Amino acid sequence: MAYNKIETFDEKVTSGLVDHYKECLELLGEDSEREGLLKTPERIAKAMQFLTQGYQQDAREILNGARFTEAYSEMVIVKDIELYSMCEHHMLPFFGKAHVAYIPNGYITGLSKIARVVDVYARRLQVQERLTHQILDAIQESLMPEGVAVVIEAQHLCMMMRGVQKQNSLTTTSAFSGQFQDGTTRAEFMKLIGK
């Protein structure tokens, strides 16, 4: 499966989803046969498969496939990684930025691989807290660095569009391992990502 797009959709999954989304439209009071909606169930079916393709991907495999021996032992930071995910409670999007750092212990990985790991876990039904920890765990277990730091800042459409309708609230989650549990190292990281 390609990283950025699904080339071929599983026909059985797609047709099952199409039937269900057609029924959803009817239950919501729409006429699923009207012109503008005719292809909508199929579009949703494909969009949903795209947005949940992370279930078919393995973050550890991505990291282990691009693990290089390197003596560099300073903090490596990838900041402002665009993030799009869906909350598992409402299946509505949440989106924002992830900032990831690690301190190598003999191994480094390609910087783009860190961004891919974020996508692998973001393209599933998620809660922001679990997403944060899954990214940390995958990097910690694959690269065995001296420490990993993950900070995610995101806006949740389920909060913005419904319920409390808080338009500007930003949810921040963080997870730290190893040397980042030390206050000084953590403070250095937070400063470098502008927090």
Which is nearer to Zn ion, 20 or 89 (by Cβ)?
Answer: 89
Which is nearer to Zn ion, 90 or 186 (by Cβ)?
Answer: 90
Catalytic, 87? Answer yes
| Long-range pairs, 113-120, Cβ under 8 A, ≥24 | 113/62, 113/63, 113/66, 114/78, 114/81, 114/139, 115/78, 115/81, 116/3, 116/59, 116/62, 117/59, 117/62, 117/63, 118/81, 118/83, 119/3, 119/54, 120/54, 120/57, 120/58, 120/59, 120/62
Active-site entry in 87, 99, 134, 179 = 87
Q: How many CB atoms are closer than 10 A to CB 99?
A: 21
CB 121, min distance to Zn ion, A: 17
Which is nearer to Zn ion, 87 or 154 (by Cβ)?
Answer: 87
Active-site entry in 53, 134, 156, 179 = 156
CB 185, min distance to Zn ion, A: 33
3-state secondary structure of 23: helix
Catalytic, 128? Answer yes
Active-site entry in 53, 126, 128, 134 = 128
The residue ranges that bind Zn ion (CB under 5 A) are 87, 89-90, 158
Catalytic, 133? Answer no
Catalytic, 156? Answer yes
Catalytic residues: 87-90, 128, 156, 158
